[in-house]
Amino acid sequence: MGKSKTVLPQNSTDRMLFTFMIVGIPFAAVWLGCVVLPHYHDTINTTVVLHITAAAFIFYNIFHNILLVIRTDASGRTSYLPSVLKPGWRYCAICQVNYPPRSYHCHICDECILKRDHHCKFTGCCIGYHNHRYFLIGILYVFIGAVYGIYYQWDYVYSTINLPVIYFFMTLLAPHFALLFGAISLWGVLVATLHTLGLITLLMVSYLLVMQVKAICLGQTQYEMKHGIHDYNLSLYQNLVDVLGRRWKIAWVSPFINSPLKGDGINFLKANEYELPKDI
């Protein structure tokens, strides 16, 4: 784990998206637990306990991974950076420091980030070498939570709206029209709107996850993927360890499982220097 910092989103778009996420995720959990679940079950039985345990596990992982994305210092400020410009390095005129390959300056965070992946507008900070693990596992759990929640409440939403399939989907797209025609109640509008928001969240996070998995499999950051840089593609195994750390097999269970990164975020092995798989 890198050094710790406490910084909340710097600009208004980031603050808006951060609020949407930080309010929306607990709200979804309360909604599913207090509105949808009692619709299916009258008493607390094994199924209810299993659902609550699964939901708590997903929520725990989303929350703590987000927290660690924000709290982990992804910049190189605390690393030793040389005063002589080495080959392949770059001088950042804003930070006035020499930075290693794969690091770039973020104009929102106003600092250089080691192995900069991208600026995350939902957490208001950059994803780089030291917090990439938390970001990847965090969006994986948001994806699992969204699939779980949408699947779980589908019957409830369908029976609440109570319209033929074609009108059901039209109601999801424009619930206010269904209300105008007297097809659903105000409660139906709320249920349909929340379900649509859930579907939008699922679409967004699926896109993020696909882009992340694609780049990580190829040993690239989002920047390198956009610019066609393939210099650091070692092997699928090494690329995965580079993001999730040495204990990648269990690192996804909890963000507090220690999984040290094999490098320092400054020196990277290039694909043409890579020969035999190292024993990790």
Are the C-beta atoms of residues 135 and 127 closer than 8 Å to each other?
Answer: yes
Among 106, 109, 112, 120, the one annotated catalytic: 120
Q: Which is nearer to Zn ion, 51 or 119 (CB)?
A: 119
Contacts of 94 (CB under 8 A, 6+ apart): 105, 110
Are the C-beta atoms of residues 218 and 210 closer than 8 Å to each other?
Answer: no
Q: Output DSSP code: residue 262.
A: S
Q: Phi, psi (5° rounding) for residue 119?
A: -90, 120
Cross-strand pairs, 157: none
109 is catalytic: no
Q: How far is the CB of 88 from Zn ion (least distance, A)?
A: 16
Are the C-beta atoms of residues 196 and 172 closer than 8 Å to each other?
Answer: yes
Q: Which is nearer to Zn ion, 92 or 229 (CB)?
A: 92
Residue ranges binding Zn ion (CB under 5 A): 92, 94-95, 105-106, 108-109, 112, 119, 126
Residue 131's identity, in one-letter code, is N
Are the C-beta atoms of residues 187 and 180 closer than 8 Å to each other?
Answer: no
The whole-angstrom separation of Cα 199 and Cα 81 is: 45
CB atoms within 10 A of CB 110: 11
Q: How far is the CB of 64 from Zn ion (least distance, A)?
A: 21
Q: How far is the CB of 143 from Zn ion (least distance, A)?
A: 23
Are the C-beta atoms of residues 243 and 136 closer than 8 Å to each other?
Answer: yes
Q: Which is nearer to Zn ion, 102 or 105 (CB)?
A: 105
The kind and range of the H/E element at 105 are strand 104-106
Q: Which is nearer to Zn ion, 68 or 109 (CB)?
A: 109
Q: Which is nearer to Zn ion, 75 or 201 (CB)?
A: 75
Tokens 């990164």 label which residue? 261
Give the catalytic positions in this structure.
120
